[in-house]
Chain A
Amino acid sequence: DSGVTQTPKHLITATGQRVTLRCSPRSGDLSVYWYQQSLDQGLQFLIQYYNGEERAKGNILERFSAQQFPDLHSELNLSSLELGDSALYFCASSESGTSYEQYFGPGTRLTVT
Chain B
Amino acid sequence: LAKTTQPISMDSYEGQEVNITCSHNNIATNDYITWYQQFPSQGPRFIIQGYKTKVTNEVASLFIPADRKSSTLSLPRVSLSDTAVYYCLVGGLNQAGTALIFGKGTTLSVSS
Q: Which A residues contact B (CB, under 8 angstroms)? A: 2, 4, 31, 33, 35, 42-45, 48, 50, 55-56, 58, 88, 90, 92, 94, 97-107, 109
Given contacts A42-B104, A101-B34, A56 and B43 within 8 Å (CB-CB): no
A47 to chain B, nearest CB (A): 9
A92-B49 Cα distance, complex, nearest whole Å: 17
Q: Which B residues contact A (CB, under 8 angstroms)? A: 32, 34, 41-46, 49, 87, 89, 92-94, 96-104
A3-B73 Cα distance, complex, nearest whole Å: 25
Count the A-B residue pairs with Cβ separation under 8 angstroms: how many?
A: 73
Q: Which residue of B lies closest to A101 (CB)?
A: B46
A98–B98 touching, CB < 8 Å = yes
Q: Which residue of A lies closest to B102 (CB)?
A: A43
Given contacts A97-B97, A98-B97, A100-B92, A2 and B45 within 8 Å (CB-CB): yes
Q: Which one of B41, B42, B98 contacts A56 once the chains associate, using CB atoms below 8 Å?
A: B98
A36-B63 Cα distance, complex, nearest whole Å: 30
Interface of A, helix, strand, loop or mixed by DSSP:
strand
Q: Which residue of A lies closest to B90 (CB)?
A: A100
Give me the 7 closest cross-chain CB pairs, A-B, nearest first.
A104-B43, A56-B97, A55-B97, A43-B102, A45-B99, A100-B34, A48-B97
